[in-house]
Structure 1
């Protein structure tokens, strides 16, 4: 299994890399055994890593690309209960999702925010007769029948019921067509009603994943103490792939299995042993199991694409809320503002794992059609697209079931350890399914299964534990402004302080201490990054490629703010701490340009200096 970058293509040629061994890889090679090895650094793998570390388990995690680069980074940026899953009869999942949504609003308030959501409705009783058949068969029979006000009211009432305990968002409201158009004047004139309710959004899923990861690493350090000669009990590295597995056990214990790991930035390989292996590689679960010598057919992922628009008229038309509705083909789609941009999604088509997941011309036309379905008088052009992204949902194999009806729930598949003359091999637990909203609960479930395998009990609950920079985050806008004012410094104004608070949550205080410890300056190409902040990312956030900073350590690419000047300037700064010579620096710029153009439709013309 070769490495893939932010969107699924092979990483830069390892031979081009140079410099000293990365500290994250050094920790793995220094002590090449863990009780548990997690393979896959999306949100579910990272969540499991954190939970295990908090229980005092000796755990390691490897990710073949960058953290949150696959489906976790290609989501609709929603933390939601999944109202449409009610139609599939997935009541357990909806209840868990609503509970977890409310919980994340409390424990990760720096990234997870309430999202007002409005459904435009064009009929009263449409779909009443077809809905039971759709519920029973999980198939669309004939031409889709749009869901009318009666069905939507029924669904939202049930949805609200799941929030009755510990709910943190208001209950839904219905509006007449006249009142709806007063609130949203750009809506189609034949709107009969609107239904408005609250879910939540995550504007920085990549950074939330890093926070979860760093919480796990911190727990590992605390478990052994900084001076422990054996190293940390929780170690993680990106750009490390699993190549194969043998029945060879750990020589010291006679248990577990040996896997062959590969550092994708240097090409070097090394052995690592573990008693339990947790496969959280998403849509690649079957391929990972194949690499470990046991083929499986658990997965049947579907591709979902999105576009990001710089369209002030559409931004204004949304009035700060998500527009969530059923398109003419029966697909549930969304339009919603993220800062000064508008996110539009999503598609749901069977994925070919042999092909790159990219947003196609046909999908872009589909997005323009769905915008016109609710905002017919707003022009949208391709020139307004600043970013596109696609990912493969880690759904279970679904055979004849239509993609939209495939379960979004998850399950854990256990492979018995291999018994041979060498001893007892590793247990392999494979995650099938999983979604952003339920990652904490899923990680708790997976961790409990692992603890049962290794004979340990749970020591800490993550249910009320703040995540990273969510600890002590201001509860309201006056509190945010007070925090910003208290943390301004010479050379750092309110705008710069606000950027840091948005990017790191209250962990921004640690970043600021680093920035203030030496001379610093903002980049010439953007006011959202400084030289020392890039050095901080290189030292503390496992930056492997230039493109990691643009897509996953910041939102610059997502918002269409990457320029040739920015590429050159960021590469210049990173070259020093990451040990890039002139040839590697040039290769990193070219690599970033290729990824941005091929997978995100972002053109950056840059003369490499």
Structure 2
């Protein structure tokens, strides 16, 4: 990977902190959701830990999710009962621990038959194969599945039990549904409205827990090799190469786990990921037709897909296609056609077309190697593999195989416990009831919200304070203090829901290196279709000014961002100035493995 915009860039403070002391008890390689979760958990145990991520935090597979925290009702069909139980427990837990970003999600399954699929289901369970043309899952089979799902979901009434409605009541609530619907089943999972921001909270929690230099994290640093002295790393911003010695190495590179191991001198073949793509539509009719919840159903090919109102838009996904992690993952036009077809499958009178797409994205799931098992039947569970570091032939390397957003906390707990065992120590702090970032003290009732806003408004209006609370949880108090200190809350000309001081806060406190970090992950402006040319230009100017970019650096950043946004997300913008950046660099920003 090479995301450099200058070969003479100064060494960043987070990199310098590692250069000053290039040793740790644990080196975690990979800053996706499972890597940052493990970093946080280790830091909470008092472990001296370093986390490195070759691109931005949460920019690879973890940035390509369906924005759901869910138990995986369909995993019951694969016989993954342990995973379902853990997933629903973690869903319920995250609703409590991260209420600022994780919200209950009513989910509706439209059902078009009564008994279909009941005979083929045991075959799928026993063989993980589909014989002949997929059999549509009928009401009886779905009823059995949801009844079992409810039994796993019991947790003090965190979410309601499922319910069935017949044709008449179903059409009354969802009048745009295909008229041949016989029933609808409704159950609850959870949505994570802004997963990248939740992950930044997790990183921040880890750094606070290990304050004083025991927990160090840095983005845009890649693992490129091994030596007897340790893991060879490279800062892709300055080009600086250095070595870190650790007692345990933890590889949480997701779908690139094998490629990271190869870079470290050990060939493994643990992974076999599949590609999942999504599109985001600006279609108010489709948004309203979902009646405030997700539509989750079986498409004509037997694939489970979703239509999901999110942040004022509609998310449509997802595919499940064999993928090569050495190649960039992008949403193809064939996949777009597939998404339009699945919308018409349940909402035949609602027109969708390419002009309504405001954003598209794709990623590779970190699934285990699965040989001839069909993608839809590959286990979504995880395991931990132990090998030995090639550099010194003795340091243990733990490689994570699998994992998903919903189970990140439990997975991090398991990975941390194994690491602690190798270090000869034990857990001192549980994360089971530890609130996350802006979820600490987050008000969950109208009266509590009003009280929080009244207490923290200060010089800001109550409306502005409420906006910041919704955006950052109770960490909004830090944003408000920053704004007060800098006496500047002027709204952006092109994006009035943000201010200059707020953007400065993000750049100053949230490890921003590139322009894409802000437009893709520190904010949701690109995801919702709000990244117009004026917004792009104004944000680039503000970020460049804060980071003291030269005119040449600013031009290079804008060019790199334009190429990245076009190639990966279908957003067409103009850099406006000549400068560096290449299509290859754009492709490498989040998805190319370490060499």
| TM-score class normalised by the smaller sequence | over 0.9
Alignment of 1:20-419 (within 5 A): 20-221=10-211, 224=212, 232-248=213-229, 258-416=230-388
Deviations 1:326-351 (A, max 9, x none): 00000000001012100000000000
How far apart are the structure 2 equivalents of 1:281 and 1:391? 13
Secondary structure of 2:486's counterpart equals: coil
Are residues 94 and 21 of structure 1, via their aligned partners in 2, closer, same or farther at CA, if it must alter by over 3 Å?
Answer: same
Deviations 1:364-392 (A, max 9, x none): 00000000000000001111100000000
How far apart are the structure 2 equivalents of 1:60 and 1:46? 10
* 8 A Cα contact 1:568 1:608, kept in partner: no
Matching residue of 1:586: 555
CA apart distance, 1:418: 6.3
Secondary structure of 1:99's counterpart equals: helix
CA apart distance, 1:571: 1.8
- The answer on 1:464 being equivalent to 2:433 is yes
* 8 A Cα contact 1:496 1:527, kept in partner: no
CA apart distance, 1:477: 3.6
How far apart are the structure 2 equivalents of 1:499 and 1:383? 30
How far apart are the structure 1 equivalents of 2:83 and 2:450? 37
Per the normalisation by structure 2, the TM-score is 0.95
Moved more, 478-487 or 304-313: 478-487
How far apart are the structure 2 equivalents of 1:192 and 1:478? 41
Deviations 1:18-71 (A, max 9, x none): 3x4211111111110000000000010000000000000000000000000011
* 8 A Cα contact 1:80 1:437, kept in partner: yes
Deviations 1:162-187 (A, max 9, x none): 12244410000000011000011110
- The answer on 1:513 being equivalent to 2:484 is no
Are residues 182 and 576 of structure 1, via their aligned partners in 2, closer, same or farther at CA, if it must alter by over 3 Å?
Answer: same
Are residues 403 and 417 of structure 1, via their aligned partners in 2, closer, same or farther at CA, if it must alter by over 3 Å?
Answer: same
CA apart distance, 1:503: 2.1
Matching residue of 2:529: 560
How far apart are the structure 2 equivalents of 1:14 and 1:325? 48
Are residues 485 and 382 of structure 1, via their aligned partners in 2, closer, same or farther at CA, if it must alter by over 3 Å?
Answer: farther
Pick one of 440, 443, 447 that aligns with 2:416: 447
* 8 A Cα contact 2:5 2:557, kept in partner: no
Alignment of 1:542-553 (within 5 A): 542-553=511-522
CA apart distance, 1:325: 0.2
Unaligned runs of 5+ in 1: 4-9, 225-231, 249-257
* 8 A Cα contact 2:265 2:390, kept in partner: no
Secondary structure of 1:595's counterpart equals: helix
Are residues 165 and 572 of structure 1, via their aligned partners in 2, closer, same or farther at CA, if it must alter by over 3 Å?
Answer: closer
Matching residue of 1:498: 466
CA apart distance, 1:419: 9.8
How far apart are the structure 2 equivalents of 1:582 and 1:85? 52
Deviations 1:283-336 (A, max 9, x none): 000000001111100000000000000000001101110000000000000001
Matching residue of 1:11: 3
Per the normalisation by structure 1, the TM-score is 0.93
How far apart are the structure 1 equivalents of 2:369 and 2:156? 35
- Computed over aligned residues only, the root mean square deviation of the Cα atoms, in angstroms, reads 1.4
Secondary structure of 1:243's counterpart equals: strand
Moved more, 521-530 or 86-95: 521-530
How far apart are the structure 2 equivalents of 1:303 and 1:193? 31
Deviations 1:368-427 (A, max 9, x none): 00000000000011111000000000000001000000000000000146697xxx7311
* 8 A Cα contact 2:51 2:218, kept in partner: yes
CA apart distance, 1:532: 1.6
Unaligned runs of 5+ in 2: 579-595
Deviations 1:72-96 (A, max 9, x none): 1110000000000000000000000
- The answer on 1:483 being equivalent to 2:464 is no
Are residues 202 and 245 of structure 1, via their aligned partners in 2, closer, same or farther at CA, if it must alter by over 3 Å?
Answer: same
CA apart distance, 1:569: 1.5
How far apart are the structure 2 equivalents of 1:489 and 1:210? 26
How far apart are the structure 2 equivalents of 1:530 and 1:457? 45
How far apart are the structure 2 equivalents of 1:14 and 1:34? 29
CA apart distance, 1:596: 0.9
Secondary structure of 1:516's counterpart equals: helix
Secondary structure of 2:210's counterpart equals: helix
How far apart are the structure 2 equivalents of 1:439 and 1:267? 32
CA apart distance, 1:570: 1.5
How far apart are the structure 1 equivalents of 2:558 and 2:498? 18
Are residues 419 and 364 of structure 1, via their aligned partners in 2, closer, same or farther at CA, if it must alter by over 3 Å?
Answer: closer
